[in-house]
């Protein structure tokens, strides 16, 4: 159970990091030159915090890899996709078509089966 919570924490940190990266990029892009866009993106606080969260998630993942069976924890990364789809609907008002929701449901079934083993 302890490892499962560690995996969930790593996934959640990666998801929040991705959402912050997306938000920062959306608010930093301008119609100016490409170099100015990159500088604006790299200095955006949301991008910096998102990158740090993603990095922290990677370090936690390394610790989990040291202690867990890869065949058990790696399929659980797909929960990140599920969380990103749901969060993107609410935070960025992205439209998700039915076939993508079906895919999300299949991922959830797969993660449930893996976690039972």
What is the DSSP secondary structure assignment for residue 31, as one 8-state letter?
S
pLDDT band with cut points at 50, 70 and 90 for residue 26? confident
pLDDT band with cut points at 50, 70 and 90 for residue 42? confident
Tokens (6 digits) for 110: 């797969």
Tens of pLDDT along 61-100? Answer: 999 999 988 888 888 899 999 999 999 999 999 999 999 9
74/2: higher pLDDT: 74
pLDDT at 33: 66
Residues 108, 80: contact at Cβ < 8 Å?
Answer: no
Task: Compute the average pLDDT of residues 42-71.
Answer: 93
Residue ranges per structural domain of the chain: 2-116
What is the DSSP secondary structure assignment for residue 63, as one 8-state letter?
H
pLDDT at 103: 95
Model confidence at 34: pLDDT above 70:
no
Closest CA to 44 of 30, 58, 16, 23: 23
Model confidence at 29: pLDDT above 90:
no
- R_g of the chain, CA atoms, integer Å: 16
Q: Which residues contact 75 (CB under 8 A, 6 or more apart)?
A: 110, 111, 114
């Amino acid at each position: 159970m302890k490892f499962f919570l560690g995996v969930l924490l790593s996934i959640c940190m990666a998801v929040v990091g991705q959402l912050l990266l997306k938000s920062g990029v959306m608010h930093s892009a301008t119609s100016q030159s490409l170099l100015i866009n990159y500088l604006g993106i790299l200095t955006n606080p949301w991008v910096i915090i998102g990158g740090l969260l993603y990095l922290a998630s990677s370090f936690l993942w390394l610790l989990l890899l040291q202690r867990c069976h890869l065949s058990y924890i790696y399929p659980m990364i797909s929960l990140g996709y599920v969380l990103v789809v749901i969060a993107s609907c609410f935070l960025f008002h992205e439209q998700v078509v039915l076939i993508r929701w079906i895919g999300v449901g299949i991922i959830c079934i797969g993660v449930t089966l893996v976690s039972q083993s």
